[in-house]
């Protein structure tokens, strides 16, 4: 199984609150990785740094007191189709292995860890990658370095009151051959907030696997507006959660407080409903905290796509006044911009992108249904939209 986004699974209890950023490492030029890298790193490149050899170490700031934390890394593995399909990665902190997985594509990975106090010494993190290989040996590129993973960033978050949060691996899916690293970078800057799983699936096709509360969820616009108005307060509340099974025998979690629903990617034979509920409480509480932090940071372009569908109820339709209300809901948390992907019109062809407000960008798209989400027509449309929308959003951020 190719694991794209993983946090250790535990039950969640306690007060739900936004995590606190403890330390951030940028591995590109102009970043701050020089003071943190130990053995097993190559020279810094424009945006990232390669780990080399079988082991790489980082030395982070000392930890004054034990804490529950989230370690988040943005990595791209050295792979060659048909020769080396994934890089094995093992992460060790304080002498204990906290994660062991295979990385088969560009991914943002999150791991919940219990960090000990370091007694004034740096926090040592060791990355073991036994599949490091030379590009020269793999496909004749004149580069003899034994490369493993291209690191872009690392963030360490403190989880308030020791709240645990299990986030399951995303369901594996074949990657599109259309992908390019620049496309993955652009896709990782997006955060889907609805209406359905289309953007989440498109991100996967471009080898981008961000963690997001609504990435694989159904979120009617009035539900989104209501939960933003409420501070997401009841997300992860067991009293507001109901489990059902869909036609594929997969558990879904329905949110009765706001009217959203979530994929779990767990089949009924694999887990009891009681165990699933405990797992989902933790998963949703963690993703709620992360969304609140993303909203406060203002470093994501939030995306809502809606299209007509005969199966939708009347209250699930969307008009511009609702979109503007949604945009205002996002802006209450920080300087957030909404990308609204709407049905194409006679004089607004699919792929057109235009700013229609200070924090609102509108794009136009053909309708695509689940069977088409990994097909070239859908991926090309999203690529066209994102390549226009992200620079427009970033230019406005710089001008603010």
Q: Does residue 61 lie within any of the structural domains? A: yes
Residues 138 and 243 in one domain: no
pTM higher than 0.85 for the full model? no
Q: Output the six-digit token pair for 126.
A: 């060791």
Residues 232 and 372 in one domain: yes
Contact 111/91 with Cβ under 8 angstroms? yes
Residues 223 and 147 in one domain: no
Residues 153 and 260 in one domain: no
Residues 117 and 247 in one domain: no
Residue 165 to residue 162: CA distance in whole angstroms:
10
pLDDT by residue, tens only, the chain of 400 residues: 233 333 332 222 233 345 788 999 999 888 889 888 888 899 888 888 999 988 999 999 999 999 988 888 999 999 888 788 889 999 999 778 888 888 888 888 887 888 989 888 889 999 999 899 888 888 777 888 889 999 999 999 887 643 333 333 333 233 233 333 368 788 888 999 999 999 999 998 887 878 889 999 999 999 999 999 999 999 999 999 999 999 999 999 999 999 999 999 899 998 899 999 988 998 898 889 889 988 988 889 999 998 876 555 555 578 999 999 999 999 999 999 999 999 988 778 999 999 998 899 999 999 999 999 999 999 999 999 999 999 889 887 776 6
Residues 112 and 250 in one domain: no
Q: Does residue 12 lie within any of the structural domains? A: no
How many domains does the chain fold into? 2
Q: What is the pLDDT of residue 157?
A: 86
What does residue 361 show for φ and ψ, rounded to 5 degrees? -120, 135
Q: Does residue 128 lie within any of the structural domains? A: yes
Q: Which domain holds residue 86?
A: 20-158
Last residue of a domain, one of 158, 192, 225: 158
Give the mean pLDDT of the chain: 83
Q: Does residue 1 lie within any of the structural domains? A: no
Residues 206 and 146 in one domain: no
Q: Does residue 48 lie within any of the structural domains? A: yes
DSSP state of 27: -
Residue 141 is part of a domain; what is its CATH number?
2.60.120.260
Q: In the Cβ-directed half-sphere of 186, how many Cα atoms lie within 13 Å? A: 21
Last residue of a domain, one of 102, 123, 158: 158
Residues 358 and 270 in one domain: yes
| Nearest one of 11, 3, 8, 17 to 233, comparing CA atoms | 17
Residues 273 and 376 in one domain: yes
Q: Does residue 173 lie within any of the structural domains? A: no
Q: What is the pLDDT of residue 210?
A: 81
Residues 264 and 374 in one domain: yes
Q: Which residue has the tokens 């040996």?
A: 137
Please tell me whether residue 395 adopts helix, strand or coil conformation: helix
Q: Does residue 90 lie within any of the structural domains? A: yes
Residues 314 and 230 in one domain: yes
| Nearest one of 285, 332, 362, 396 to 10, comparing CA atoms | 285
Residues 188 and 46 in one domain: no
| Neighbour order of strands in the sheet with 337-343 | 190-192, 301-305, 337-343, 360-365, 353-357
């Amino acid at each position: 199984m190719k694991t794209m986004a993983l946090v250790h699974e535990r039950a969640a209890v306690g007060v739900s609150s936004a995590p606190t950023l403890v330390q951030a490492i940028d591995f590109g030029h102009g970043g701050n990785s020089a003071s943190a890298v130990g053995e097993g790193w190559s020279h810094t490149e424009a945006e990232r740094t390669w780990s080399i050899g079988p082991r790489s170490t980082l030395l982070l700031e000392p930890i004054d007191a034990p804490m529950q934390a989230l370690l988040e890394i943005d990595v791209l593995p050295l792979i060659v189709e048909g020769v080396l399909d994934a890089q094995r990665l093992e992460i060790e902190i304080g002498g204990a292995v906290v994660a062991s997985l295979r990385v088969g594509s560009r991914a943002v990975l999150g791991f919940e860890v219990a960090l000990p106090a370091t007694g004034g010494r740096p926090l040592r993190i060791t990355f073991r990658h036994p599949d490091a290989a030379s590009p020269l040996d793999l496909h004749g590129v004149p580069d003899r370095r034994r490369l493993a993973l291209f690191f872009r960033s690392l963030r360490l978050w403190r989880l308030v009151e020791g709240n645990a949060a299990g986030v399951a691996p995303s369901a594996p899916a074949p990657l599109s051959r259309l992908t390019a690293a620049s496309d993955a970078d652009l896709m990782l800057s997006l955060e889907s907030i609805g209406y359905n799983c289309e953007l989440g699936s498109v991100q996967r096709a471009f080898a981008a696997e961000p963690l997001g509360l609504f990435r694989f969820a159904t979120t009617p616009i009035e539900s989104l507006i209501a939960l933003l108005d409420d501070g997401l307060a009841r997300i992860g509340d067991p009293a507001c959660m109901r489990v059902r099974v869909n036609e594929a025998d997969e558990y879904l979690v329905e949110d009765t407080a706001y009217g959203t629903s979530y994929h779990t990617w767990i089949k009924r034979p694999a887990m009891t409903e009681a165990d699933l509920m405990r797992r989902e409480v933790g998963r949703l509480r963690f993703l709620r905290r992360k969304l609140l932090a993303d909203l406060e940071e203002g470093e994501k372009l939030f995306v809502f796509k809606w299209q007509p569908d005969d199966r939708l109820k009347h209250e699930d339709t969307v008009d511009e006044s609702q979109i503007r209300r949604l945009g205002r809901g996002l802006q209450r948390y920080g300087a957030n911009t909404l990308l609204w992907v709407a049905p194409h019109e006679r004089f607004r062809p699919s792929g057109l992108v235009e700013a229609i407000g200070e924090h609102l960008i509108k794009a136009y798209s053909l309708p695509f249904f689940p069977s088409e989400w990994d097909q070239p027509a859908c991926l090309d449309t999203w690529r066209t939209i994102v390549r226009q929308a992200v620079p427009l959003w970033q230019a406005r951020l710089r001008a603010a």
